[in-house]
Structure 1
Amino acid sequence: MAAIMKTLAIDSSLSAGSVAALFEGSAAERTFPVAGEHGRRIAAALAAVAGELGWSPADAELLAVVRGPGSFTSLRVGVTTAKAMAWANGARLLGVSAFEVIARQSAGPQEHGSAPIAIAYDAGRGDVFAATAVPATHSPTGWIIGAPGLYSLPTWLASLERGACISGPALAIFADQIAQRPDLLVAPRAAWIPTAIGVGNVAILRAAAGESDDPQTLVPDYLRPSYAHENDSRSSR
Structure 2
Amino acid sequence: MRILALETTDKTGSVAALDNYNLLAELMLDQNQRSARSLAPAMQALLVRVDWSPKDVQLVGVSIGPGSFTGLRVGVTAAKVFAYAVGADVLGINTLEAIALGGAADLSESGAIKRNVAVAIDAQRGDVVAQPFAMHSPDRVESLGPQELLPADQWLSRLTPETVVSGPALLRLADRLPSGIKAMDRRYWPPQSSAVGRLAAQYYSAGRRDDLWKLVPHYCRRSAAEEKWDAMGK
Compute the displacement of 1:30 (Å). Answer: 1.3
> For residue 179 of structure 2, what is the aligned residue in structure 1?
182
- d(CA) in 1 for partners of 2:155, 2:78: 34
Alignment-derived partner of residue 53 in structure 1:
50
Instruction: Say whether the 8 Å CA contact 1:129–1:151 is kept in structure 2.
Output: yes
Q: Is the 8 A contact 2:103 2:188 kept in 1?
A: yes
Give the CA deviation at 1:58. 3.0
1:158 maps to what in 2?
Answer: 157
Q: Which residue of 2 aligns with 1:71?
A: 68
Structure 1 consecutive aligned stretches of length 4 or more whose deviation exceeds 4 Å: none
Q: Give the aligned partner of residue 16 of structure 1.
A: 12
Match of 1:91 among 88, 91, 101: 88
Q: What is the correspondence of 1:93-172 to structure 2 with a 5 Å cutoff?
A: 93-108=90-105, 110=108, 111-135=111-135, 141-144=140-143, 146-172=145-171
C-alpha deviation, 1:36, in angstroms: 5.2
Question: TM-score by structure 1 length?
Answer: 0.89
Offset at residue 23 of structure 1 (A)? 2.1
Structure 2 CA distance, aligned partners of 1:214 and 1:124? 31
C-alpha spacing 1:231/1:40, structure 2 compared with 1 (3 Å): same
1:43 and 2:37 aligned = no
AA aligned opposite 2:166: S
User: How well do the aligned residues superpose, as a CA RMSD in angstroms?
Assistant: 2.0
What count of residue pairs does the alignment treat as equivalent? 229
Kindly provide the CA deviation profile for residues 127-183 of structure 1, in whole angstroms up to 9, marking residues without a partner as x.
11111113469xx944225211112111111111233211111111222222xx231
Instruction: For residue 35 of structure 1, report the CA deviation from its aligned partner.
Output: 6.2
Counterpart of 1:210 in structure 2: which amino acid?
G
**Inter-partner Cα distance in structure 2 for 1:208 and 1:200:** 12
Q: Distance in 2 between matches of 1:170 and 1:33?
A: 22
CA contact (8 A) 1:68 1:75 kept: yes
Distance 2:35 2:112 in 1: 32
User: Which letter does structure 1 place at the counterpart of 2:215?
Assistant: L
Aligned to 2:189: 192
With over 3 angstroms needed to count, the CA separation of the structure-2 counterparts of 1:222 and 1:106, relative to structure 1, is: same
Residues 80 and 55 (structure 1 numbering): CA distance in 2 closer, same or farther, change over 3 Å?
A: same
Report if the CA contact (8 A) 1:47-1:56 is conserved: no
* Alpha-carbon distance in structure 2 between the residues aligned to 1:185 and 1:162: 8
1:51 match: secondary structure: helix
Q: Which residue of 1 aligns with 2:233?
A: 236
Q: Which runs of 5+ in 2 are unaligned?
A: none
Question: What percent of counterpart residues are identical?
Answer: 37
Amino acid paired to 2:41:
A
In the alignment, the residues of structure 1 paired with residue 11 and residue 162 of structure 2 have an alpha-carbon distance, to the nearest angstrom, of 31
TM-score for both structures, normalised by structure 2? 0.90
1:17-66: CA deviation from partner (whole Å, max 9, x where unpaired): 11111126341111125265211121111111111111122321100100
Inter-partner Cα distance in structure 1 for 2:196 and 2:25: 13
Alpha-carbon distance change, 35 to 213 in structure 1, aligned in 2, over 3 angstroms: farther
Contact map agreement 2:100 2:141 (CA 8 A) in 1: no
Counterpart amino acid of residue 73 in structure 1: T
Unaligned runs of 5+ in 1: none
Specify the code of the residue in structure 1 equivalent to 2:8: S
